[in-house]
């Protein structure tokens, strides 16, 4: 629907290659705004990463229908837990049958509400250093604000992953580039673009982390907390 019109804008610059990657995996297209879901190649990568890290306790900021959440819950051990926060409980409930069918609901604590007060609550409850991993995929304007509480909540050696940091592949386009001025891009440029560019400048200059922007999905920046 409305959001899915942006499907042609990806960092791969090849609709055929995107379709090929998606069709050779299990394309999650049940929801009219399925473009909100992380891509299959990215969730598979995150799943392997979580297993390599032996992650047990994680945070998910921005759930939508729970596609990346399901991938996370599947990757966690039986006694693992992902705390997932989103004000949109309806969307979470849309995907919940799939989570139940996969038998991983017991690994998920869904919290209905905005992330910022929730992260501050966790800190007030003494949860510093309690998380191995955080996946940030909510309101892009707040990425920069989520970073400080997450730097306390995620343990030293843990990872914070910020999603969509290549923002439909337009972050590096010159303002006079034909693609940058495609009228379809209107709302993408109004929402998210400035915030993501700011984050992409901020993170590599934060001495407390090692960061790398991976060109997978719509771009995901991994930040490993050094101290």
Among 11, 46, 85, 161, binds ligand SAM (CB under 6 A): 85
CA 225/CA 169 separation, integer angstroms: 26
Strand arrangement, sheet containing 220-225: 108-112, 81-86, 57-61, 131-136, 154-163, 220-225, 209-214
Taking phi first (over 0 means left), then psi (-120 to 50 degrees means alpha), and beta for anything else, what does residue 167 get?
left
Q: Which of 91, 144, 195, 214 binds ligand SAM (CB under 6 A)?
A: 91
> How far apart, in whole angstroms, are the C-alpha atoms of residue 168 and residue 150?
25
Residues that bind Ca ion (CB under 5 A): 137, 163-164
E strand or H helix that includes residue 61: strand 57-61
Site membership for ligand SAM, residue 115 (CB under 6 A): yes
Q: The tokens of 205 are what?
A: 């200059």
- Does position 34 bind ligand SAM by CB under 6 A? no
What is the distance, to the nearest Å, from the Cα of residue 14 to the centroid of all Cα atoms in its chain?
Answer: 23
Pick from ligand SAM, Ca ion, none: which does 67 bind, CB < 5 to 8 A by kind?
Answer: ligand SAM
Selection from ligand SAM, Ca ion, none that 169 binds (CB < 5 to 8 A by kind) is: none
C-beta of 114 vs 169, nearer to ligand SAM: 114
Say whether residue 138 binds ligand SAM (CB under 6 A): yes
**How many binding residues for ligand SAM (CB under 6 A)?**
20
Four-residue CA torsion sign, 71, 137, 81, 203: positive
- The reply to whether 222 sits near ligand SAM by the rule CB under 6 A is no
Residue 192 binding ligand SAM, by CB under 6 A = no
Q: Give 205's Cβ-side CA count (13 Å radius).
A: 6
The single residue among 86, 151, 154, 193 that binds ligand SAM, judged by CB under 6 A, is 86
Q: Which does 200 bind (CB under 5 to 8 A by kind): ligand SAM, Ca ion, none?
A: none
**Could you give the CA distance from residue 129 to residue 151 in angstroms, rounded to a whole number?**
8
Which of the stretches 35-43, 100-108, 124-132, 199-207 binds ligand SAM when contact is defined by CB under 6 A?
35-43
Q: How far apart are CA 207 and CA 93, in angstroms?
A: 39
Q: Is 221 in the site for ligand SAM (CB under 6 A)?
A: no
Nearer to Ca ion, 65 or 164 (CB): 164
Take residue 85 and report the two structure tokens written for it.
Answer: 């926060």
- Tell me the closest approach of the beta carbon of residue 176 to ligand SAM, in angstroms: 29
Interaction site with ligand SAM (CB under 6 A): 36-38, 61-64, 67-68, 85-88, 91, 114-115, 137-139, 142
């Amino acid at each position: 629907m409305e959001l899915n019109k942006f499907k042609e804008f990806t960092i791969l610059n090849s609709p055929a290659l995107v379709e090929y990657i998606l069709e050779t995996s299990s394309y999650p297209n049940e929801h009219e705004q399925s473009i909100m879901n992380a891509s299959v190649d990215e969730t598979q990568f995150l799943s392997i990463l979580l297993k390599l890290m032996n992650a047990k306790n994680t945070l998910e900021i921005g759930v939508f229908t729970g596609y990346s959440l399901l991938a996370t819950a599947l990757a966690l051990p039986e006694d693992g837990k992902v705390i997932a926060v989103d004000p949109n409980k309806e969307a979470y409930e849309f995907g919940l049958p799939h989570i139940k069918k996969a038998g991983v609901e017991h690994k998920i604590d869904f919290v209905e509400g905005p992330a910022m007060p929730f992260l501050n609550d966790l800190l007030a409850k003494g949860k510093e250093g309690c998380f191995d991993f955080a996946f940030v995929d909510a309101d892009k304007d707040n990425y920069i604000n989520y970073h400080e509480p997450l730097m306390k909540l995620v343990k030293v050696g843990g990872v914070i992953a910020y999603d969509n940091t290549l923002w439909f592949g337009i972050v590096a386009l010159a303002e006079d580039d034909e693609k940058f001025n495609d009228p379809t891009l209107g709302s993408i440029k109004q929402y998210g673009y400035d915030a993501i560019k700011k984050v992409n400048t901020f993170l590599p200059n934060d001495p407390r982390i090692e960061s790398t922007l991976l060109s997978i999905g719509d771009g995901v920046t991994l930040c490993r907390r050094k101290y």
